[in-house]
């Protein structure tokens, strides 16, 4: 499928501080995760786990992770932010060529050698999703630039709630969300199965996402939400940096680069063929949004096979609505209270959670 041959995501939009509560990573744990933008395995490397297995069937996403890891390992913090695209720099490609490229595998180096423009612009904003949100942000700026600027200034949640109720929430903005995220439109702009193939919520995902955004703005400051900043400005400012972009995160990861192994392949097949009782933590992102129920159930079987007793799992859902079959519900011991808590605390607002322990 063409989708799995491109760099689709370059900046994760998941709140690691929320997910960490579900995974409860302990010293010596072995974790398995989806690579995607590379943010997820980077955040796992900030913990005391013994090993992270990071899997993706898309070579472009794995090469992005390789690039981020090499940047952390070879650059100082200020250079790292500049190279990634978080701060200005006219020298990104030179930094890549002279410092980072020699640290990459021949395959990864060949991939990035043909993408000089991406590197020069700062890779953190060069995924298909990030480039699309940049276009959307520019369009929104034309129509409500002043309101967006004001929304991102609030330090008081009560003042922000009043602004959202009286000025932000309009019929025009609701309609824009409904049209942009409607499958009949989005499938032509972004060929993303997670957005188009397994859509629930009465075929009006745009309104569903819009109302989730409003709920988020009533409980979280907009300036702390990376996803809101990305959608409305095309960039993420320091107040909303993901942990791996902070000095503390960079420092922890830099000490841990030897604890990760990257696998290119189908994660369902990998877990199914794995030796039993291998892993303590499963960070599955929202891959349930990319598969029909039958494949989701195959994923559950694979996780169960590879899990140690009482292993923890975190599965996110975007617009899909998967269910754990009755015969698996005693094995996948969900924590509904924690799921609700994580959903409420997630500053990037689009996700629901399936979390808990695996009984074996």
Percent of the chain with pLDDT over 70: 93
pLDDT band at 6 (very low <50, low <70, confident <90, very high): confident
Considering the domain boundaries, does residue 110 fall inside one?
A: no
How many Cβ atoms from other residues are within 10 Å of residue 176's Cβ? Answer: 18
Q: Report pLDDT digits (tens) over 254-295.
A: 999 999 999 999 999 999 999 999 999 999 999 988 888 899
Mean local confidence (pLDDT), 224-237:
94
Whether residue 230 is contained in a domain is answered as: yes
Is 349 a member of any domain?
Answer: no
First-last CA distance in the chain: 36
39 belongs to a structural domain: no
CA distance 65 to 55: 11
Overall number of domains in the chain:
1
pLDDT grade for 201, boundaries at 50, 70 and 90: low
Instruction: Please give the model's pTM, rounded to 2 decimal places.
Output: 0.93
In terms of residue numbers, what domain contains 223?
A: 131-240
Q: Evaluate whether residue 168 is within a structural domain.
A: yes
pLDDT at site 281: 98
Report the mean per-residue pLDDT for the chain.
92
Nearest to 250 by CA among 45, 36, 17: 45
Question: Is the model's pLDDT at 245 over the cut of 60?
Answer: yes
Please say whether the dihedral angle defined by the alpha carbons of residues 189, 192, 196 and 199, taken in this order, is positive or negative: negative
Q: Is the pLDDT of residue 187 over 80?
A: no
Bridge-based pairing of strands 279-283 and 260-264 is unpaired
- Beta-strand runs (E) in the chain: 30-34, 51-56, 260-264, 279-283, 307-317, 332-334, 352-358
Is residue 200 predicted with pLDDT exceeding 90? Answer: no
* Residue 18 maps to a domain: no
Does residue 172 lie within any of the structural domains? yes
Please check whether residue 251 lies inside any domain of the structure: no
């Amino acid at each position: 499928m063409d989708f799995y041959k491109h760099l689709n995501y370059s900046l994760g939009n998941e709140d690691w501080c929320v997910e960490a509560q579900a995974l409860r990573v302990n010293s010596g744990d072995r974790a398995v995760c989806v690579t995607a933008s590379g943010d997820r395995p980077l955040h796992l490397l900030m913990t005391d786990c013994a090993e992270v297995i990071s899997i993706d069937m898309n070579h472009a996403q794995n090469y992005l992770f390789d690039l981020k890891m090499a940047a952390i390992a070879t650059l100082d913090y200020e250079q790292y932010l500049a190279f990634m695209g978080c701060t200005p720099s006219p020298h990104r490609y030179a930094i890549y060529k002279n410092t980072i490229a020699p640290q990459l595998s021949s395959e990864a180096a060949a991939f990035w050698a043909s993408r000089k423009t991406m590197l020069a612009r700062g890779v953190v904003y060069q995924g298909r999703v990030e480039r699309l949100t940049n276009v959307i942000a520019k369009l929104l700026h034309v129509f409500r630039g002043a309101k967006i600027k004001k929304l991102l200034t609030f330090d008081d949640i009560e003042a922000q709630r009043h602004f959202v109720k009286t000025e932000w929430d309009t019929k025009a903005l609701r309609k824009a969300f409904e049209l942009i995220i409607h499958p009949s439109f989005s499938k032509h702009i972004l060929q993303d199965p997670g957005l188009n193939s397994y859509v629930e919520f009465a075929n009006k995902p745009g309104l569903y996402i819009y109302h989730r955004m409003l709920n988020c703005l009533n409980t979280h400051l907009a300036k702390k939400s990376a996803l809101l900043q990305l959608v409305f400005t095309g960039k993420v400012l320091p107040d909303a940096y993901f942990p791996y972009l902070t000095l503390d995160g960079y420092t922890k990861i830099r000490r841990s680069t030897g604890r990760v192994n990257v696998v290119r392949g189908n994660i369902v097949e990998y877990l199914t063929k794995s030796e039993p009782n291998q892993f303590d933590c499963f960070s599955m992102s929202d891959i349930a949004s990319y598969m029909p129920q039958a494949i989701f159930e195959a994923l559950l079987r694979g996780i169960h096979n590879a899990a140690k007793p009482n292993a923890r799992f975190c599965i996110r859902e975007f617009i899909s609505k998967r269910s754990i079959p009755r015969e698996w519900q005693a094995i996948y011991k969900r924590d509904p209270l924690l799921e609700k808590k994580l959903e409420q605390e997630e500053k990037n607002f689009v996700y629901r959670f399936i979390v808990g322990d695996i009984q074996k």
